[in-house]
Amino acid sequence: MWPGVRCSATGSVIEIDLSGHRLNGSITPQIGALSKLKCLNLSSNNLRGELPSSLGNLTQLAVLDVSYNEIHSIPLEIEKMENLVSSIIPLQIRNLKKLMTLHFGNCQLYGSIPPNIGKLKSLVNLHLSSNMLVGPIPSSVNKLTNLASLVLDDNQLNGSIPQEIGRLTNLVTLDLSSNMLVGPIPQNLGKLSRLESFSLYQNKINGSMPLEIRNLGKLSYIDLSYNNLSGQIPSFLGLLSSFSSLRLDSNLFEGFIPSDIGKIKKSR
């Protein structure tokens, strides 16, 4: 009868949801004794330290959420949890082939995105925003062809946007804003025909806007502000009738604002 705890008919604890309960301290290693646990949600608390290695004993766990805490270390034993389908996991783990959602937002992570992230081929949502991640976006991300949402904003990622990003044809949301990315916008971006939201705000992207962007007929939000984009503002933007928000400020554009932009009736 404890709040946030659910048991099976045989009396085994199968679900713990204590999100937003102002818990503090560390997670006890005794959590690993709950061998029948299927859902563990401790998000939005004040928990600190590292996750106990005993979590590896929770082989039936399908949902693990410790986001919005101050967890700074996650043990490799977590890779034993092969039934995870929606979780927050250490970036080193590559064997969770059923994983669909990886949400590590605002977890004070540092280091680089592991190059083997592409092995999590069932991923639909990859959110690593508001951390201290450095280094390039690994090219293996382009193997995550089921991705609908790729959110890596507010980190310190550098290098260029992978040229093969056009393989992620199921993408609806792509947010790479507030990083240190350089180079041009890849032409292959034009293959993301389902893309609705695209943000590169506050990077060091240069070159001109590729003509291929005109193929993004579902694009409703685009923010390319605070970069080093140059050349003329392309007139084809006026042909994208789905626009509700368009930001190009604080770049190096020259020339006139194309009159066709006036055809964007929803833009604000």
Name the pTM for this structure.
0.69
SS3 109: coil
pLDDT value of position 87: 45
Topology of domain 100-268 in CATH is 3.80.10
The confidence score (pLDDT) of residue 102 equals 84
pLDDT score recorded for residue 141: 92
Which CATH code of 3.60.10.10, 1.10.10.10, 3.20.20.70, 3.80.10.10 fits the domain covering 1-92?
A: 3.80.10.10
What span, in angstroms and rounded, lies between the C-alpha atoms of 223 and 238?
A: 15
Q: Which two tokens stand for residue 135?
A: 């280094």
Q: What is the pLDDT of residue 90?
A: 55
pLDDT on residue 266: 60
Dump pLDDT digits (tens) for 63-117. Answer: 888 888 888 777 777 777 777 766 444 545 566 778 888 888 887 676 778 778 8
User: In the chain, which stretches have pLDDT less than 70?
Assistant: 85-95, 108, 110, 263, 265-268
Contact 46, 69 (CB under 8 A): yes
Domain(s) labelled CATH 3.80.10.10 in the chain stretch across: 1-92, 100-268
Q: Is the Cβ–Cβ distance between 70 and 34 less than 8 Å?
A: no
Instruction: Give the pLDDT of residue 88.
Output: 44
CA distance 154 to 92: 21
Pairing verdict, β 228-231 and 24-25: unpaired
With CA atoms as reference, report the closest residue to 193 among 210, 215, 174, 173.
215
